Amino acid sequence: MCPAPPSQAEQFLQCKSLTGKIHSDSYTFSNGMAAVARMRPDGSFEGQPKGFPFEDFEFEDVMLPEDDDMGIPSEDDEVAEEELETETGFGSVIVADNLPGVLPDKYDKLTGLLNRIYGQVGTVREGGINMPVDQETETSKGFAFIEFHTPQEAAAARESTDGYKLDRNHTLAVNLFDEIDKYMRIPDNYESPEQKAYAAQEHLRAWLMDKRGRDQFAIRFGDETEVYWNDAARSQPEEVYKRSFWTESFVQWSGQGSYLATVHRQGVAVWGGNSWQRLTRFSHPGVRLIDFSPCEQYLITYSSMEPSNPREKAKVLLNVFDTKTGKKLRVFDNSVDEFAIGTAAGPGGALRWPVFKWAGGPKDSFFARLGRNAISIYEAPDMGLLEKKSLKLDAVQDFEWSPAEPILCAYQAEQSGGNLPARISLVRIPDRKELRQKNLFSVSDIRMYWHPQGDYLAIKVDRYTKTRKSTFTSFELFSVKERDIPMEVLELASKTEKVVDFAWEPRGSRFAVLYGDGPRPTLAIYDMKSTTSKGVNCTVLQPNKQANCLHWSPQGKFLVLGGLKALNGQLEFFNAEDGEVMNAAEHFMCTDIEWDPTGRYVATSVTVVHQMENGFNVWLFNGQLLYRMPRERFFQFSWRPRPPTLLEPAKEEEVVKNLKKYSQKYEQEDQALLAQTDVDLLAERQRMMDEWKAWVASKQEWVAQNNAGIAAILGDAVQEGEYTVNEVEVEETLGVTEEIIRAT
Amino acid sequence: MRPYLLKGHERPLTQLRFNREGDLLLSCAKDKSPTLWFSEDGKRVGTYVGHNGTVWTADFTLDSTRLITGSADSSARLWDVETGESLFKFQFQEPCRAVDFSLGDDMAAISSDPFMAAPANIHIVRIEADISNQDATPVRTMSSDKSGRVSRVQFTDLNKTLLTSSEDGCLRRWDVEVGKMVEEKQTLKTYNTERPANSAAISPIYDHVLIGGGQEASQVTTTSSRAGGFTSRFFHKIFGEEFGTVRGHFGPINAVAFHPDGRSFTTGGEDGYVRLHHFDADYFSTRFLN
């Protein structure tokens, strides 16, 4: 049987389906159904200008000027334009290759087979299968065009039938028609991409090699961002690097100080090395907040998008990047409601940063966020949900990781009206073993404070009194490193008093509490390891402190009591070991207090929340003011963090023991440095003086001319610098009246 | 030495001016009467009554016989220093902000504030020795439309040019004869005060700069009293370092002036007081920063 040539209608349909569009006007013409316009009684038509000679008018005679269509597109142009609108019109066509070449007698059988195969995947258009035939041999060319109703179906068909085994010799190779062109353009010979020459990267921790062991800090004021050495021996900062408009909102050091991140509209850039070159860029348009993982392997960036429709919720986008390569590892894109749960919800529907909290430990392995009745824990480096399921905890409100190991402490709120008590649990990850748990009754609020080395955990519990009208505070103290994690309860001397601040001593077993209702709270320091008695023991108790925040030195032993805000910047440098105030000072209007990572210096700063006094002070740990640096519009002061020390504890102890021996050498160095500083200062002043004198000398001529001119104008009337004091007595008659005193 | 506290004004001070010899001190304030004092002992000589608004500025002639004052009542007046008699009145449409006599006292420059649609103007008037010939119309008016208020004017270069300082922080030089701006001055030295500076003076005998200022008066009640920093501060002219402060005022300092012999200085504050300080002997024997 010979295949009938496609009928006229079939050809038309194919043409239509191949171009994807058909010009509808052609129907109206072919049907002879041209638009009918109503004729006026005088023979003219509606809308036609009167007086136009319609009778003897030949349409062909009308000529439009060339290249001018009078703003009216001709019918041909319209077709061209419509064709342009679709990409190519072949979006829903696929090409199935590797078909057997068939003679005309098998043609219908094969198309029927294809129709059956593709009918299962999507809807093949009627007559949408076209298999070109070689005119000479009359066999089909071994490929077919198949058209579906929608491009989506075509894509699905390609997915499912690419590699389909028709029989033993014929395996289908299916492509989208639109992509054929793209594949054709691939060169036949493989050219390996040019290998980039290896460029040695600068040492990212070179700053630690400073001979004098100084620390760096970054400040931001006005449009400037500057990095300085804290040159405490010379009581001045030394500039390292500065740049105007370096960041669009803030700068942030990574957890161990290797990188400095700047935040821009397009994303985040990370800088480092001695020359402060840009190391990596992280694209995240509209980024608002960033957070490095503690070992700075990863960077999480955050942005939120306000909805255009007020009824919708804001969208939140979080990206997880690899800091070194800049590769985007995971995207969290969701409505803000999915993240604002429990304590993660800040005031006004905002999120409390960081949304994702990193587990402590020598490696960045886990990070977690609060979910609804669960904590979702993700595992680095593949960033997937740990064991593909969240940690189920009913009514979980908050959690904190231990800074030292992957243990998290979760707080579940009271449920069913107090029948189910609030619960604290310590869970080890990744085995999800509950190490310790504790039920707490009539809880109003809980805050968790991990010891910086993860040795202890303090839970501040606010409980309702029996009447539920007020609350009182107590502490539950866990010794995490000990067997079975023993717990103690600490109640303040006066139960009703409000706790102002709480802080663990880093590298120690003490903690400090500031409590009291009035403006002068009490400072209490407790020790978890007491030699005299069992359990927690109060070592220092001092009332009447002008303070509202506590800042321990990162090395422990010393702390600064800050009286910020309403207290105008009172500072008390306190020795916790001896329980005495080393020095009381004031940095007027001070807003921020930050210890340097070595615990030697304290920086206090006044930022733009105040109009005046902007700038920062650097103090010695004992409260001696080293230097001040006033800066207008001061935004930020940030010490560069250091990685953990490599010295073993034994070695460290030895250094402390032989401190006298070591310090001698350094003191000498400092002395020499100070002498040099004085010399430098004098030289600088001399230079300024010389510069000034040179400027004055350059004006000498003008001065001489001017003086001559003055003399000429004023004449001899006034001799410079000469005048005499004359005593002048002025007698003024105010009035004369004559009166008769006595008439005789 | 304890300063003399000159209490003669009820409103904030605006300008302090010594005469050439330095025996007289004139204080201008936001009340209507500029007041004349003996600079040696702070005795009040008298007031000049006639203005009907804040008196922003004043200048003595070289021989201290006449005085010119500029006021917010849109007028500038010539006075007889000795009798306090108002000799002449220059009436303008806008408040007068700064005045200066030329060298030889035959001209005066008067600046007026931008007001309604008018820009800041600098008027040059001729001053006649015989007051009966005095003409009220300025011989030249230069408009400084981009600068904001022109806060001070000063004849220089033998009256050929005029230096003006204005609110936009720019010092400009004007050609008096042509009536055009010829130069915008470059900064030679900057003294960092951390808070608003309202007035400054250079010592005539040492490399010292005296700067007065402090927190803006409108902000004073919003912060602690010590936040204001209402101090007169001494800076080294060349090194730019601060080496001394003098406290006393309880509002921002609006005006400072050195005595022509450099042995005393005076400050006037928003608090309405004028403080007349005579330096102690050790000021002259100490070498600050040198």
Q: Residues of A with CB below 8 A from B188's CB?
A: 695
Residue A104's CATH number: 3.30.70.330
On the question of pLDDT at A465 being above 90, the answer is no
Q: Residues of B with CB below 8 A from A628's CB?
A: none
Is the same domain home to A676 and A603? no
Q: What is the pLDDT of residue A6?
A: 45
Q: Residues of A with CB below 8 A from B192's CB?
A: 630
Angle between helices A151-161 and A104-121 (to 10 degrees): 110
Mark residue A715 as left, alpha or beta (left: phi above 0; alpha: psi -120 to 50; beta: remaining).
left
Q: Which amino acid is at A179?
A: E
The three-state secondary structure class of A515 is: strand
CA distance to partner chain B, nearest, from residue A573 (Å): 23
**pLDDT, mean of residues B78-94:** 94
Q: Residues of B with CB below 8 A from A709's CB?
A: 158
Structure confidence at residue A665 as a pLDDT band (50, 70, 90)? confident
Retrieve residue B110's tokens.
């008067």
Mean pLDDT of chain A: 83
**Higher-scoring residue by pLDDT: A558, A568:** A558
Q: What is the pLDDT of residue A430?
A: 87
**pLDDT, mean of residues A393-399:** 90
CA distance to partner chain B, nearest, from residue A723 (Å): 8
The per-residue DSSP string of A709-720 comes to HHHHHHTTS--T
Mark which of A577, A612, A646 sits at the end of a domain: A646
On the question of pLDDT at B223 being above 70, the answer is no
Q: How far apart are CA B139 and CA A677, in angstroms?
A: 59
Nearest chain B Cα to A732, which residue? Answer: B83
Q: What is the pLDDT of residue A51?
A: 58
Task: Kindly report the CATH number that applies to the domain delimited by B1-14+190-290.
Answer: 2.130.10.10
CA distance to partner chain B, nearest, from residue A709 (Å): 6
Structure confidence at residue A450 as a pLDDT band (50, 70, 90)? very high
By the 8 A CB rule, do B135 and B127 touch?
no
Retrieve residue A506's tokens.
């880093």
On the question of pLDDT at A386 being above 50, the answer is yes
Structure confidence at residue A10 as a pLDDT band (50, 70, 90)? very low
**pLDDT, mean of residues B119-144:** 92
Q: What is the ipTM metric for this complex? A: 0.87
**pLDDT, mean of residues B168-193:** 90
On the question of pLDDT at A46 being above 70, the answer is no
Who among B192, B227, B239 is closest to A589 (CB)?
B227
On the question of pLDDT at A591 being above 90, the answer is yes
Q: How far apart are CA A397 and CA A445, in angstroms?
A: 10
> Would you say residue A330 lies in a domain?
no
Q: How far apart are CA A438 and CA A424, in angstroms?
A: 5
Strand order in the sheet with A549-552: A549-552, A558-563, A570-575, A580-586
Is the same domain home to A120 and A7? yes
Q: What is the pLDDT of residue A740?
A: 84
Q: Which of A152-166, A312-326, B145-159 has the lowest mean pLDDT?
A: A152-166
On the question of pLDDT at A240 being above 70, the answer is yes
Q: What percent of chain A lies above the pLDDT cut of 90?
A: 38
Mark which of A591, A626, A646 sits at the end of a domain: A646
* Residue in the structure block whose two tokens are 């700064």: B98
Is the same domain home to A521 and A640? yes
Q: What is the pLDDT of residue A733?
A: 84
Instruction: Kindly give, in sequence order, each residue whose CB lies less than 8 Å from that of residue A581, ignoring residues fewer than 6 positions away.
Output: A572, A573, A574, A575
On the question of pLDDT at A343 being above 80, the answer is no
> Would you say residue A1 lies in a domain?
yes
Nearest chain A Cα to B62, which residue? Answer: A718
Question: Strands B208-213 and B232-236: what pairing?
Answer: antiparallel
Structure confidence at residue B68 as a pLDDT band (50, 70, 90)? very high
On the question of pLDDT at A732 being above 50, the answer is yes
Is the same domain home to A611 and A671? no
pLDDT tens for B122-132 read: 999 999 999 99
Mean pLDDT of chain B: 91
Q: How far apart are CA A448 and CA A426, in angstroms?
A: 11
Structure confidence at residue A16 as a pLDDT band (50, 70, 90)? very low
Q: What pTM was computed for the model?
A: 0.66
Is the same domain home to A567 and A503? yes
Is the same domain home to A139 and A13? yes
Indicate the length of chain B as a whole number: 290
- Report how far apart the first and last C-alpha atoms of chain A are (Å, whole number): 173
Q: Which residues, numbered 144 to 183 in chain B, qualify as contacts with chain A under a Cβ-Cβ cut-off of 8 Å?
A: 157-159
Highest mean pLDDT among A125-134, A188-197, A240-249, A512-521 belongs to: A240-249
Nearest chain B Cα to A730, which residue? Answer: B82
Residues of chain B with CATH 2.130.10.10: 1-14+190-290, 48-186
The parent domain of residue A499 ranges over: 493-646
Give how many domains chain A has, as a whole number: 3
Q: What percent of chain A lies above the pLDDT cut of 70?
A: 86
On the question of pLDDT at A21 being above 50, the answer is no
Q: Which of A707-721, A727-741, B94-108 has the lowest mean pLDDT?
A: A707-721
> Would you say residue A160 lies in a domain?
yes
Q: How far apart are CA A378 and CA A369, in angstroms?
A: 9
Mark residue A60 as left, alpha or beta (left: phi above 0; alpha: psi -120 to 50; beta: remaining).
alpha
> Would you say residue A346 lies in a domain?
no
Number of A to B CB contacts under 8 A, please give it.
50
Q: What percent of chain B lies above the pLDDT cut of 70?
A: 98
Using CA atoms, how far residue B70 sits from B10, B14, B25, B276, in Å, is 19, 11, 17, 23
Q: Residues of A with CB below 8 A from B229's CB?
A: 612
Residues of A within an 8 Å Cβ radius of B: 568, 588-589, 610-615, 630, 632, 685, 688-689, 692, 695, 706, 709-710, 713-714, 717-718, 723
Residue A638's CATH number: 2.130.10.10
Structure confidence at residue A67 as a pLDDT band (50, 70, 90)? low
Who among A612, A709, A717 is closest to B195 (CB)?
A612
On the question of pLDDT at A601 being above 90, the answer is yes
On the question of pLDDT at A292 being above 90, the answer is yes
Is the same domain home to A518 and A586? yes
Is the same domain home to A605 and A682? no
* Fold category of B48-186 in CATH: Methylamine Dehydrogenase; Chain H (2.130.10)
Retrieve residue B215's tokens.
């927190």
**Higher-scoring residue by pLDDT: B48, A314:** B48
Q: What is the pLDDT of residue A129?
A: 85
On the question of pLDDT at A174 being above 50, the answer is yes
Highest mean pLDDT among A140-154, A271-285, A485-499 belongs to: A271-285
Structure confidence at residue A65 as a pLDDT band (50, 70, 90)? low
Structure confidence at residue A13 as a pLDDT band (50, 70, 90)? very low
pLDDT tens for A415-445 read: 887 788 999 999 998 899 999 999 998 888 8
Who among B21, B158, B226 is closest to A710 (CB)?
B158
**pLDDT, mean of residues B93-119:** 92
**pLDDT, mean of residues B239-267:** 93
Q: What is the pLDDT of residue A141?
A: 85
Mark which of A135, A162, A184 sits at the end of a domain: A184
CA distance to partner chain B, nearest, from residue A597 (Å): 29
Is the same domain home to A568 and A637? yes
**pLDDT, mean of residues A652-657:** 88
pLDDT tens for A666-675 read: 888 888 888 8
> Would you say residue A218 lies in a domain?
no
> Would you say residue A593 lies in a domain?
yes
Is the same domain home to A662 and A521? no
**Higher-scoring residue by pLDDT: A2, A703:** A703
On the question of pLDDT at A226 being above 90, the answer is yes
On the question of pLDDT at A30 being above 50, the answer is no
Q: What is the pLDDT of residue A334?
A: 85
